[in-house]
């Protein structure tokens, strides 16, 4: 005789099983590693850990373009600021920063900022291939600001943070007085509206568009994204003596179809983040707590995650950059220049990773120490700055020890 389950009993079993069927047991999550795998190995300026052989080759090829000293034959000028990326981005290794600054100018009146575009503002080109082309800060300018070179370590990881992640972080509750907004910019390379994240004003969203801007505006090499040579203080007649208005762009693709802006972009995209500055000690741990407690972390977000990415070495990584990549009104600390989505007093929260390798801080390099940089914080950061001044000397040292460990 067959063993049969009574009908009522079978129904009961089905009913009990239904919720289980509707929600299949999820697979056990992979065990979370206690310490995330390092994204960098050893020194500054290395390629990203996990880059494939082809990506390492692209890194190496791009580094040559990044380091090369351009000449008149390769397109330098007519007006420019230096002759290689490395000249400014060379400390403590290629891909870093330096004490070098560039100059921005404009005219501010009644709350309206004019970048003096017709006089080739707002970026000054401080050098020229011929004395007749030498630019000056025009007398019309009543705002002049210097901008320190920013480091490029981990740029690929910063680029790989999805816009939505930056926006979601921007929408989290913040202490009274702290606001911050995303820098919506038009990406020159794609024409898309994107969240800007590179530069003191978060003026570019992608490494490629920054590369095009830098190659043209810092070195004077016209390229497909920035095809027009800058005219000295806007004087097209002077420019025409050296560059024909119909001349082809200088940055032409190589046999594999890549231009210099693509190759240097690859180099920066595969550049590892800075190695940690110092080991964790009781002092750095105490400093880390203070950093959150006095509100530094409400702008200097300790980490943001990258999303899915065709490049595995950039996909789903925890990026410990210590920045929300937002624009904040910094009051008196602002540089007075409106640019892209940033108003005159708005600045991008500086990423704090790699701080130990730096010798000067803030947008114009005015601060010789991290402590001096904190004391200059104003505007939305005023409460946090004031809380810092109320720490005991030992606590202040702990906070600085933490900053130097990043």
User: Applying CB under 6 A, which residues contact ligand HEC?
Assistant: 81-82, 85, 87-89, 100, 102, 147, 149-150, 152, 155, 178, 198-201, 207, 210-211, 214-215, 218-219, 264, 268, 294-296, 298-300, 328, 330, 333, 347, 349-350, 352, 361-363, 370, 373-374, 377, 380-381, 384, 388, 403
- Of the pair 170, 381, the CB lying nearest ligand HEC is at 381
Q: How far is the CB of 50 from ligand HEC (least distance, A)?
A: 21
- Of the pair 330, 401, the CB lying nearest ligand HEC is at 330
- Of the pair 314, 374, the CB lying nearest ligand HEC is at 374
Q: How far is the CB of 199 from ligand HEC (least distance, A)?
A: 3
Question: In this structure, what is the dihedral angle of CA atoms 306, 304, 340, 135, given to the nearest 10 degrees?
Answer: -90
Q: Scanning the structure block, which residue is given the tokens 């097209």? A: 236
CA atoms within 13 A on the CB side of 58: 21
The CA–CA distances, whole Å, from 243 to 73, 178, 285 equal: 13, 48, 57
- Of the pair 5, 395, the CB lying nearest ligand HEC is at 395
Q: How far is the CB of 165 from ligand HEC (least distance, A)?
A: 17
- Of the pair 11, 375, the CB lying nearest ligand HEC is at 375
Contact 212, 188 (CB under 8 A): yes
Q: Is the peptide bond before 287 cis (omega within 30 degrees of 0)?
A: no
How many whole angstroms separate alpha carbon 161 and alpha carbon 262?
20
Tokens representing residue 64 in the block: 């040559």
Contact 359, 282 (CB under 8 A): no
Q: Is the peptide bond before 92 cis (omega within 30 degrees of 0)?
A: yes
Q: How far is the CB of 30 from ligand HEC (least distance, A)?
A: 32
Q: How far is the CB of 32 from ligand HEC (least distance, A)?
A: 29
Tokens representing residue 30 in the block: 């992979």
- Of the pair 46, 269, the CB lying nearest ligand HEC is at 269
Q: How far is the CB of 348 from ligand HEC (least distance, A)?
A: 6
């Amino acid at each position: 005789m067959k063993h049969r389950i009574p009908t009522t009993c079978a129904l009961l079993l089905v009913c009990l099983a239904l919720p289980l069927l509707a929600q299949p047991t999820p697979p056990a999550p992979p065990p979370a590693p206690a310490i995330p795998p390092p994204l960098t190995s050893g020194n500054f300026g290395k390629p990203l850990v996990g880059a494939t052989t082809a990506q390492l080759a692209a890194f190496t090829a791009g580094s040559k373009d990044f380091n090369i000293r351009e000449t008149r034959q390769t397109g330098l000028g007519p007006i420019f600021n230096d002759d290689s990326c490395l000249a400014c981005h060379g400390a403590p290794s290629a891909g870093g920063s330096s004490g070098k600054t560039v100059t921005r100018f404009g005219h501010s009146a009644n709350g309206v900022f004019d970048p003096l575009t017709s006089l080739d503002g707002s970026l000054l080109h401080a050098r020229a291939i011929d004395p007749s082309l030498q630019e000056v800060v025009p007398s019309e300018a009543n705002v002049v600001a210097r901008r320190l070179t920013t480091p490029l370590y981990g740029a690929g990881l910063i680029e790989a943070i999805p816009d939505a992640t930056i926006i979601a972080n921007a929408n989290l509750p913040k202490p009274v007085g702290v606001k911050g907004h995303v820098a919506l910019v038009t990406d020159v390379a794609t024409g898309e509206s994107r969240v800007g994240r590179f530069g003191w004003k978060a003026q570019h969203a992608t490494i490629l568009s920054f590369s095009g801007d830098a190659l043209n505006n810092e070195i004077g090499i016209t390229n497909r994204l920035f095809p027009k040579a800058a005219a000295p203080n806007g004087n097209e007649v002077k420019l025409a003596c050296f560059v024909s208005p119909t001349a082809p762009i200088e940055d032409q693709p190589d046999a594999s179809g890549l231009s210099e802006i693509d190759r240097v972009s690859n180099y920066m995209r595969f550049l590892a983040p800075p190695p940690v500055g110092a080991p964790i000690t009781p002092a750095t741990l105490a400093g880390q707590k203070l950093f959150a407690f006095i509100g530094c972390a409400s702008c200097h977000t300790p980490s943001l995650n990258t999303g899915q990415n065709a490049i595995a070495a950039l996909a789903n990584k925890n990026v410990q950059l210590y920045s929300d990549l937002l624009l904040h009104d910094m009051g008196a600390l602002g540089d007075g220049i409106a640019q892209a989505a940033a108003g005159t007093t708005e600045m991008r929260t500086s990423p704090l990773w790699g701080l130990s390798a730096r010798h000067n801080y803030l947008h114009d390099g005015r601060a010789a120490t991290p402590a001096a940089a904190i004391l200059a914080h104003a505007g939305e950061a005023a409460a946090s700055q004031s809380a810092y001044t109320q720490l005991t000397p030992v606590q202040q040292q702990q906070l600085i020890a933490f900053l130097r460990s990043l």
